[in-house]
Amino acid sequence: MVAGKGQEYRRNLAGIAKGAGMIAPNMATMLGLLATDAYVEPNEIHNTLKRIADRSFNRIVVDGDMSTNDTLLLLANGDKYDIDAYHPVAFPFHATYIAEKLARDIVRDGEGATKFITLRIDGAPDNETARQIGNAIATSPLVKTAFYGGDANWGRIIAAAGRSGVAVDPAKMSLTFQSDDGKDALKLFEGGVPTQYDESAATALVKADSVTVILDCGMGSESATIWTCDLSHDYISINGHYRS
């Protein structure tokens, strides 16, 4: 894959997207195109697209900046006018699968990104609150530079959650770093204090190309996942000398 582009096929759906920088929820300087030969009612396709975007391209953060000219299109030429081509549950499911894959690809190809971070906020009172906490963490330069440096810096993550505007309680929080295959997991923070974790094991998790960060807020049962990347020297080089 070349930088900032992704493509994906699944059943009678195809998708392609390009991004790179200026990526934050509510999309970005991004072009995304999903196409299908299924017949879908115009009203239905519009609602489906909004739900898909909300679960994919609106869950990614490269740098916290947003563009004024993002585009995500879902085109249906109506060629296959049959119930199998468009199923009211299966179609959104597969379309969301494609859109999520493309959204993650955009983050992986983010400007200067060296690391892919899956940020899961658990234990929130509602989804919106979980996303608010997640966005504060995902846009924090201190969090992003720590990941770039391979530093398992739980303090910066907890601090970013603390300034998210949500009245979080550190004493109720727990923070876990996990390998993307789920095999290795390490709890770094719980009950308001760091655990007696193994620093070298934590560093190994953070130094991998991708890592999953799970912050349980202990405030409820809702979750949200946000995909983001680190902030590197290359991001500065790319954007310091380029007229957009």
**How far are the Cα atoms of 62, 93, 115 from residue 223, in angstroms, in the given order?**
21, 19, 23
Question: Quick check: is 29 catalytic?
Answer: yes
Give 23's DSSP letter.
Answer: B
Q: Which stretch binds a second copy (CB under 8 A): 19-27, 73-81, 98-106, 213-221?
A: 19-27
Burial of 147 (0-12, 13-18, 19+ CB in 10 A): buried
Nearest alpha carbon to residue 172 among 120, 212, 128, 124: 124
> What is the rounded distance in angstroms from the CA atom of residue 123 to the CA atom of residue 143?
21
* From candidates 75, 90, 142, 185, binder to a second copy by CB under 8 A: 142
Among 140, 174, 178, 228, binds a second copy (CB under 8 A): 140
Binders in 197-236 for a second copy, by CB under 8 A:
231-233, 235-236
Considering the rule CB under 8 A, would residue 21 count as an interface residue with a second copy?
Answer: yes
> With binding defined as CB under 8 A, does residue 50 bind a second copy?
no
Q: Which is nearer to a second copy, 62 or 95 (CB)?
A: 62
Q: Is 165 in the site for a second copy (CB under 8 A)?
A: no
Side by side, the strands of the sheet bearing 60-61 are 60-61, 222-229, 116-124, 210-216, 174-178, 185-190, 193-194
Q: What is the distance between the alpha carbons of residues 108 and 114, in angstroms, rounded to a whole number?
A: 8
Residue of 96, 129, 135, 153 that binds a second copy (CB under 8 A) = 153
Interface positions with a second copy (CB under 8 A): 21-22, 24, 26, 63-68, 139-142, 145-146, 148-149, 151, 153, 155-156, 159-160, 162-163, 231-233, 235-237, 239-244
Which positions are annotated as active-site residues?
29
